[in-house]
Amino acid sequence: MRTLSFKIILVIIGLGIVSCVPTKQFKTLEEECLKERSELKNRMEQLETLSNEQSAALLKLQKANNALTADTTALGEALRESGADLKKQQTTYEQMLQEHRDLLSGKNAETSTILEELQQLREDVIRREDAVKMLEKKLSEKESNLNALQQALSEKEARLEELQTILDKQEEKVTALRKTVADALLGFEGKGLSIEQKNGKVYVSMEENLLFKSGSWEVAPKGIEALKQLSGVLEQNSDINVMIEGHTDPVPYRGSGQVKDNWDLSVMRATSVLKIITRNSTLDEKRLTAAGRGEYYPIADNSLPEGRAANRRTEIILTPKLDELFKIIET
């Protein structure tokens, strides 16, 4: 713009100078001036076009700059937002990563705990299996023992049945023996003689007044008669053992010689009865036993006269032989 103004001034000055020159020169100058004017006009038009183009370009550039500025601002905002989002996402990622690590660590610890529990459970199972095997072994042993015991029990039951059969037979024999003895001594019962069956035996009890005088061991005639009757029964029952027991009361015996006290007296009386039985029968002496009990097995109160009289007695105990029974017991 400054160049154009300067050229206009030069033209004006030139015109002023032309007015001072001759006509020929004036025309020449005029032509030159018109030419320059035309050129100047063209240039001014070109300049104006260029100026318009430049203005349009500038406007376009300004618009582009404004758009670019807006875009840059938007991009910057978006970048900032993206950066914030990225930072947030990075923080979230780091948190998630840490949580994953913590979870993984926890899982490892939990897995380790589970493995330990599984190992403990396995050991418990092994111990229980061992215990079960031990119990099975003990059970097998106990079953074997039980079978053996049951076998032994069956054998014992069989033996018991056999024993019971023998005992029943013995009881029958004892009952029959008691009846036979009672029948043989029927005239003496109630006269100082009594017969009792107990514990598989027959007890023939003779009071002192039936057999002896007081303090004597010599058998009286009525006693001898009773013993003869009994000897006949015993002779017919060869499977009967005979125990003769002499008993006294606690009243002190004042004797002389070999018989000094009640114990001696009880022995002598039992022996006297035994000898009468053997003399009046063919009994095997091995079946007979004489024993003195003294005053130590009373059956009545010694504080009363009748009690002492009852205690002064001779008992003949008849026991069936139990050889068959003993054989079963010993086997």
User: What is residue 191's three-state secondary structure?
Assistant: coil
The pLDDT of residue 18? 47
Range of the domain at 314: 164-330
- Tell whether 101 is covered by a domain: no
CA atoms within 13 A on the CB side of 259: 18
The pLDDT of residue 207? 95
- Tell whether 26 is covered by a domain: no
Residue of 326, 286, 330 whose CA lies nearest to 170: 326
* Domain total in the chain: 1
- Tell whether 296 is covered by a domain: yes
- Tell whether 181 is covered by a domain: yes
- Tell whether 295 is covered by a domain: yes
Ordered DSSP codes for 246-299 = EE--SSPP---TT--SHHHHHHHHHHHHHHHHHHTS---GGGEEEEEEETSS-S
Q: How far is the C-alpha of 209 from the C-alpha of 194, rounded, in Å?
A: 13
- Tell whether 287 is covered by a domain: yes
Decide the pairing of beta strands 240-247 and 288-294: parallel
Query: Mean pLDDT per segment of 10 residues, for the chain of length 331 residues?
Result: 54 52 69 72 68 71 69 68 71 73 70 83 86 88 88 85 82 89 86 91 95 94 95 89 96 84 96 95 92 96 95 95 62 64
- Tell whether 150 is covered by a domain: no
* Strand order across the beta sheet in which 240-247 lies: 193-198, 201-207, 313-320, 240-247, 288-294
- Tell whether 4 is covered by a domain: no
In the numeric block, the tokens 């000094």 are attached to 260
Q: What is the CATH number of the domain that holds 185?
A: 3.30.1330.60
